[in-house]
Structure 1
């Protein structure tokens, strides 16, 4: 079986991580997440075949553990199950489900058909449907989180390299989207990276906490398994061992301590909330980049033949950043659903979670995967235009200089309040010149002012004077980030983005 996270990732993650895109001749509908946006690895993780194979892995693990603990299950029966594991005819399963109106029992019957009547007798022994459905979903969820962490790691390493390169490059900062004190390109990149860092830490902790449902029975009491081991000296010890052995076989340290028929759907809220947080981090990054692209300061990479508009040939639209924001809104819209599902689970279980979870869990993972595929692609090729940085700062730098001028004038014995008022008046006059389409003449106005002129020096318009500790903050932050990246160094090279559309 390939249920250890490393084995799963090795099976699903190939050198290419390109989204799959099949011809659209088929008459049936396919989600754009599958046909355009999500990567092959994530699609494979949530595919029908992988789910069915995990169900069979769980039935094999259950049979092996039951046999090892003394139940009358032969090695020949187990061998038959293992030998026929890969033989799945989904058309036959569909025909059985149409007749039985039960998806799990359709698979039980089909597995029995291909494994043989003798092996078929012991499939699903003592189990309820959630033994395979819930446990398989937790395996897929954990593997999906591992894939997401690969993408986060790559995003972080690329943003860290970008921040280091541009650590001291001054750029206009904005509050309320109005010009404010300068920052640096690298410092702004650290703000983006920090959000993704927090997301990676959240997933790291979530994966460590995520249990298997385990072997719990129809209402979580393990009564059916207690009955199977009724003749044992200590039936309770046997059932505990059964639960532990199945968890180990599926690559989990343990199961959830108590459950109803299902594992608590609170786990789903953790997972989808974490994915929505990642979508939010990505959308913040992408929104900032869209604003910067408008100023022509920092831009996403442009394909050599990329077309921005079918009409306006000159357009360079930040289409990848726009798509990140679009997909992020979709993930955010999904985040409320698991909470509602959790809140509406009656007593030990009700089936109104099933159809909802089939949609929400998979789509949340596929959309977040698509978002991070774009983030990795964009962060690999961010373009900075220093000439535009200087041009856009030119009109604002005189305003930046006023605080330093005022501080020097106060140190020379001036009245702070009177100086503040004088600078306010001169600044409004200079702003009027800007609004009239002329240059910012505030420096000249201050130089001509008897209270301020002596305190305006030649370096007043040096942008580096107004970035504060931004370069040093970049250095400090990147040093602190190394600890997290070192813990995840095994992810190096696992993922490279390929955006097809």
Structure 2
């Protein structure tokens, strides 16, 4: 991922320094288990454990001629070791014992960062939803004014969508947090299974119940699918804010610095830059998920068709989701909410948003349903044309005035929704404590 959309903590997890450090740790953990089984003396183990991970530059230098990253890593890693120690490094292993076990640990750490950022986004949404629970605005369907709602309820809808996304990522984190130390084609030919148990337990990983040579790629597809859904949820939030920031609407505005400039040509512009950026990045997550599904099917015990793609899609997907969650939380925390403008927009159609209540009141008063609908629709058509307001149009059609219409009637039965938000806070807190 280009640095522009990667936050420092996530970048550190995916650095070559971190990768080679993990690989070296796995080699040490394997040596620990083998020494415990009596394969070689503790003095040899100390020599292996004291060797520092190789530098990325040295691995890259050796890989240019060897064309094999793990062999280049091993050559660089064992360079400073005495021969009696170096010969036991990687004993009985195949490359992907190290690569996939290291990947499992990396994915686990990256998922934790994503979950932390998503939890902050969820908390921010809930806080602002409660703050604006009674801030009235018009709801829109198909982009057209529908009925009154509140901005708090809008944010509450998004809060529960983020909550569901976090649950999916948690499940997928468990799926990918696995390793395998089973040797070529996964038969444990030269390894006691206890070596795998020691390595994976030390890294906080599970293990493949029946391995081939690699960790099964349906696990990674599950993760990238969960991240793609999470991106779509952020995109939904960002798209809502983009619409609400249009000049004709202007109900909210995303945070800006005092030095903000929206256009090189038009100084007046106040564009929804961040929201648009979030929508664009979410598209990448969907494309990466598609590639992850293609990577599930490998030839026999393994092939390399998945490897090059994974070097891109796995780090990029986690980096993007982390960025999306973090940036969306910043937008929501600093969002300017123009409640006065929301009220103005509610009245822009001169009462049309109360048509459903007027229609139901006529039915309740004894009018036949189709007649009531057509009466109210006819009045609404007159109001749409701009010749009169909705209430006057109803009076002209013989409807007694005043009808009991207004935004409060639409919002009278929402107390249980607010209780659900409070329950969500409790559930979120329990996850954070765990």
TM-score range, shorter chain: over 0.9
Distance 1:341 1:311 in 2: 46
CA contact (8 A) 2:350 2:389 kept: no
| Residue 389 of structure 2 is aligned to residue 441 of structure 1 | yes
Q: Which residue of 2 aligns with 1:481?
A: 424
The residue aligned with 1:300 is 254
Q: Which range is displaced more, 330-339 or 114-123?
A: 114-123
1:322-333 to 2 correspondences below 5 Å: 322-333=276-287
CA drift at 1:118 = 2.4
The root-mean-square deviation of aligned C-alpha atoms, in Å, is: 1.8
Give the match for residue 273 of structure 1: 225
Instruction: Give 2:242's aligned residue.
Output: 290
How far 1:196 moved relative to its partner?
0.7
In the TM superposition, what is the alpha-carbon distance from 1:260 to its structure 2 partner?
1.3
Matches of 1:396 and 1:77, distance apart in 2: 82
- Conserved 8 A contact 1:67-1:74: yes
Per the TM alignment, residue 199 of structure 1 is displaced from its structure 2 partner at its CA by: 0.9
Partners of 1:408 and 1:337 lie apart in 2 by 55
Report the counterpart of residue 220 of structure 1 in structure 2.
Answer: 186
1:301 is displaced (CA, Å) by 1.3
Alignment of 1:374 onto 2:327: yes
Q: How many residues align?
A: 432
Q: What is the CA-CA distance between 1:468 and the residue it aligns to?
A: 5.1
The superposition leaves residues 11-41 of structure 1 with CA deviations (integer Å, 9 ceiling, x where unpaired) of: xxxxxxxxxxxxxxxxxxxx52x2x121011
How far the C-alpha of 1:414 sits from its partner, in A, is 3.3
SS in 2 for 1:348: coil
Tell me the SS of whatever aligns to 2:139: strand
Contact 1:324 1:371 in 2 (8 A): yes
Give distance in 2, aligned partners of 1:267 and 1:403: 49
Given candidates 154, 170, 180, the residue that maps to 2:136 is 170
**Alignment pair present for 1:309 and 2:263:** yes
1:334 corresponds in structure 2 to 288
Structure 1 residues 149-175: Cα deviation after superposition (integer angstroms, max 9, x where no partner):
000000000000000011121111111
Check the 8 A contact 2:107/2:173 in 1, yes or no: no
Q: Distance in 2 between matches of 1:114 and 1:468?
A: 75
Q: Tell me, what secondary structure is at the counterpart of 1:260?
A: coil
Per-residue CA distance 1:268-289 (angstroms, 9 max, x = gap): 1011111111111110110011
| Offset from partner CA, 1:110-160 (integer Å, 9 cap, x none) | 111123322211110110000111111111011110000000000000000
Matches within 5 A, 1:77-226: 77-86=44-53, 88-225=54-191
Partner SS, residue 148 of structure 2 = strand
Q: Is the 8 A contact 1:84 1:115 kept in 2?
A: yes
Q: Distance in 2 between matches of 1:192 and 1:397?
A: 29
1:423 is aligned to 2:367: no
Tell me by how many angstroms 1:328 deviates. 0.7
Superimposed CA distance per residue, residues 390-447 of structure 1 (whole angstroms, 9 cap, x where no aligned partner): 11110236123233333333433334332322222121111111xxxx7x51112223
Quick check: 1:463 aligned with 2:407? yes
Distance in structure 2 (CA, Å) of the matches to 1:397 and 1:197: 38
Residue 13 of structure 2 is aligned to residue 70 of structure 1: no
Contact residue 33 and residue 198 of structure 2 kept, 8 A: yes
Is 1:50 matched with 2:18?
Answer: yes
CA distance in 2, matches of 1:180, 1:143: 45
Secondary structure at the aligned position of 1:223 is classed as coil
Structure 2 unaligned residues grouped into runs of 5+: none
Q: 1:429 to 1:397 in 2, by over 3 A?
A: closer
SS in 2 for 1:414: coil
Q: How much has 1:316 moved relative to structure 2?
A: 0.8
- CA change 1:397–1:248 in 2 (3 A) is farther
**Preserved CA contact (<8 Å) 2:176 2:223:** no
Alignment of 1:11-30 (within 5 A): none
Asked if 2 retains the 8 angstrom alpha-carbon contact of 1:62 and 1:246, the reply is: yes
Deviation at 1:107, TM superposition (A): 1.1
Structure 1 match to 2:215: 263
Task: Verify the 8 A CA contact 1:219 1:260 in the aligned structure 2.
Answer: yes
